[in-house]
Amino acid sequence: MDPIPVILDTDGGVDDCAALWFGLTSPAIEIVAITCVAGNVNAAQAARNVAKVLKAAGRSDIPFSIGADQPLGPGPAIPGDLPVHGSDGLGDAGIPDAALDPTTEPAIELILRLVDARPGELTLVAVGPFTNVALALRSEPSLAGRVRDLVVMGGAAQMPGNVTATSEFNVAKDPTAAAETVAASWPRPPTMVGLDATHQATMGARELDLVAERRTPAAAFMADPLRTYHRIQSMVSEDGTVPCHDALALMAVAHPELLITEVLPVNVDTGGGAAWGMTVVDFRARSLASGSIPADLLGLAQEAFFAGKHPWRVALGADVDGFRARLNELFGR
């Protein structure tokens, strides 16, 4: 089977770079381009981090581009944000800059050009705030109908948020962009890989010890950034394991069996109140498939449950062993 061609949109953090390493080394994925957005760090620093990975992986042939540095609209205050990724996005591990420059083509133009050249072929994977995706949709709303698929890391369906009581980081950083991305006319339900799945698919001591052995180029690169990432993340972990959010999202492109999903109505709260930035998932829609609604009322019920919402494939759980097995392969076991 041919590898799945992917445009990766990233905000340059530790788990972003772990995801990128997976994409560069997996025979099931072809990274055709990378676009950078502000989130964990600013967009230019995200591009510097991407360049470091590409250089270390010997993949300077892959174009990468700088995108949006500001959100499309306001978002909730994020108090007491832990420096999970360090000031440079890579755990302040001292990894030197690579002599590799981003393309002069802006990220939005790169996305649109590549999708125009390969309609129906490319999967767009967004693992940072959705600002670049929303800007591309604003420029060409037909983009939604011309990608093969959209997979995002973001949101939470049943779990609380990780930066406010109700909102996950990537959505909270730009709720306007998230809302526009959710509402676009995607021909098939996109996949939302949120905290319900990523907080199950975690790295444990076995994975972290393996990384420290530096058996592969990916492990050698990620060992120090993951040490900082784990030290901070484990402060809020009950069992010492930590999520690697973005890696799960990209893995799921090649291995959808890693996710437990349901197609459910979704929208994003942009109202500025207590639930600002929340991904609102309407679980009442489960009754549509349960047989509990009389046939003559199914249409009315569907209209009621999906009013103002949009069908997304929501990840509600993950295959932890499968996720860890692929991490272990990446890091040399």
Instruction: Catalogue the active-site residues.
Output: 245
Residue 80 backbone phi and psi in degrees, to 5: 60, 35
What DSSP string describes 141-179?
GGGGGTSSEEEEE---SSSPPSSSSS--HHHHH-HHHHH
Q: How far apart are CA 323 and CA 40, in angstroms?
A: 23
| The length of the chain, given as a count of residues | 333
Q: How far apart are CA 167 and CA 144, in angstroms?
A: 25
What DSSP string describes 252-295?
HHH-GGGEEEEEEEEEE--SSSTTTT-EEE-GGGGHHHHT-S-G
| Integer angstrom CA distances of residue 2 from 5, 23, 29, 34, 254 | 9, 14, 8, 20, 11
Q: Where are the beta strands (DSSP E) in the chain?
A: 4-10, 29-36, 64-66, 123-126, 149-153, 191-193, 202-203, 242-243, 259-268, 279-281, 310-318
Using alpha carbons, select from 136, 193, 142 the residue that is nearest to residue 315.
193
